[in-house]
């Protein structure tokens, strides 16, 4: 496969992973009443981690027993994922889905870019800055699309920012885990480590609604498709695309959530939402074209 085809394949994998991530909010909205966001988030890891590990072993034909990931980056990445889960769902409960999601996803690419520049010596050029400004501006416009339905809660906003920080940390640390190793296997080990961290907490939660057909369908989709499937795609993309650029491409997630809200949940697609969607799309185009141009010059 040529460098050009590999690059665009990596871009498509990352964006498709973001699209799958973007279905989580709608899935939660369709979940049975009474399932706490914390339980849903925990089940995502508990189901998604082992599922991704099994998928990797079957389809990639790798031996997990010979895999020796670096312990510290693996632990840091798992902590980042758990931090995202715990902070994000608490933030959504306090601020609402729209504002909590937008803040978390806006914070993530900025922090990921800075962390990757500090610890992995990635160059943050003008293309990164322009695409970041476009995409983050689009996220802000999407947040404004909620109008008076948004609940401004300082604690919730801090929790959402913490979720974005956790996501960025996991993304940057994951790059070190998968370096010169199987990307999917590295991500699955991280997810399984995170699952072990949240598993004890489920023993203290009410999971009766999860055991229903409706509840089980939701958590299985979230675990198998929106977690295992999306992280499998993301792992493949991370092996080709730098972390700072990957984080920006993941901003396709709120765009997906917005569109699904309109199509499936009957939400109104306002002018702010339309402008925000176009800005995010423009950011994705800029980072994709700019990154390929830079790669072609090497």
List the chain pLDDT tens, one digit each, 298 residues. Answer: 556 677 777 778 888 888 888 787 777 777 887 788 788 888 989 999 999 998 888 877 777 777 788 889 899 999 999 898 888 777 776 766 666 666 777 677 777 777 877 776 666 677 777 777 776 777 677 666 555 444 556 777 788 888 889 988 988 888 778 776 777 788 888 999 999 999 998 888 888 888 899 999 999 999 999 889 888 887 777 667 765 566 666 667 766 766 776 677 665 556 776 677 677 667 766 765 555 454 444 4
* C-alpha–C-alpha distance, residues 51 and 205, integer Å: 23
Long-range contacts of 147-150 (CB under 8 A, 24+ apart): 147/270, 149/96, 149/98, 150/95, 150/96, 150/98, 150/99
* C-alpha–C-alpha distance, residues 28 and 39, integer Å: 11
SS3 28: helix
* C-alpha–C-alpha distance, residues 3 and 7, integer Å: 6
- Which residues have C-beta within 8 Å of that of residue 90, sequence separation ≥ 6? 37, 38, 156, 159
Residues 240 and 30 sit within 8 Å (Cβ to Cβ): no
CA distances to 18, 63, 117, 271 from 98, in Å: 16, 41, 30, 16
- Which residues have C-beta within 8 Å of that of residue 113, sequence separation ≥ 6? 122, 124, 128, 132, 243, 244, 247, 248
Q: Give, as one character, the DSSP assignment of residue 32.
A: P
Residues 110 and 80 sit within 8 Å (Cβ to Cβ): no
Angle, nearest 10°, between helix axes 97-119 and 126-144? Answer: 170
Angle, nearest 10°, between helix axes 3-21 and 230-238? Answer: 150
203 exposure class (CB count in 10 Å sphere: 0-12, 13-18, 19+): exposed
- Pick the closest to residue 170 from 102, 257, 236, 234 (CA basis): 234
């Amino acid at each position: 496969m040529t460098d050009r085809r590999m690059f665009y394949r990596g871009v498509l994998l990352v964006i498709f992973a973001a699209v799958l991530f973007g279905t989580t909010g709608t899935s939660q909205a369709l979940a049975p009443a009474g399932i706490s966001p914390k339980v849903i988030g925990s089940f995502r890891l508990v189901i998604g981690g082992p599922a991704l590990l099994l998928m990797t072993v079957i389809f990639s034909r790798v031996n997990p027993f010979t895999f020796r990931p670096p312990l510290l980056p693996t632990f840091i990445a798992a902590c980042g994922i758990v931090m995202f889960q715990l902070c994000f769902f608490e933030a959504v409960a306090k601020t609402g889905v729209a504002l909590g999601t937008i803040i978390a996803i806006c914070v993530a690419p900025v922090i990921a870019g800075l962390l990757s520049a500090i610890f992995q010596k990635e160059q943050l050029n003008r293309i990164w800055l322009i695409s970041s400004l476009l995409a983050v501006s689009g996220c802000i416009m999407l947040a404004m699309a909620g109008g008076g339905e948004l609940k401004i809660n300082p604690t919730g906003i801090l929790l959402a920012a913490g979720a974005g920080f956790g996501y960025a940390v996991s993304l940057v640390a994951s790059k070190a885990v998968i370096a010169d190793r199987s990307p999917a296997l590295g991500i699955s080990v991280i997810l399984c480590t995170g699952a072990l961290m949240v598993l004890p907490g489920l023993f203290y939660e009410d999971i009766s609604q999860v055991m229903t057909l409706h509840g089980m369908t939701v958590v299985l989709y979230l675990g198998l498709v929106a977690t295992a499937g999306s992280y499998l795609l993301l792992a493949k993309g991370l092996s080709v695309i730098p972390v700072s650029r990957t984080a920006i491409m993941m901003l396709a997630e709120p765009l997906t959530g917005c569109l699904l809200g309109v199509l499936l949940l009957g939400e109104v697609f306002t002018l702010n939402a339309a402008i925000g969607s176009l800005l995010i799309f423009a950011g994705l185009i800029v980072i994709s074209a700019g990154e390929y141009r830079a790669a072609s010059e090497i």
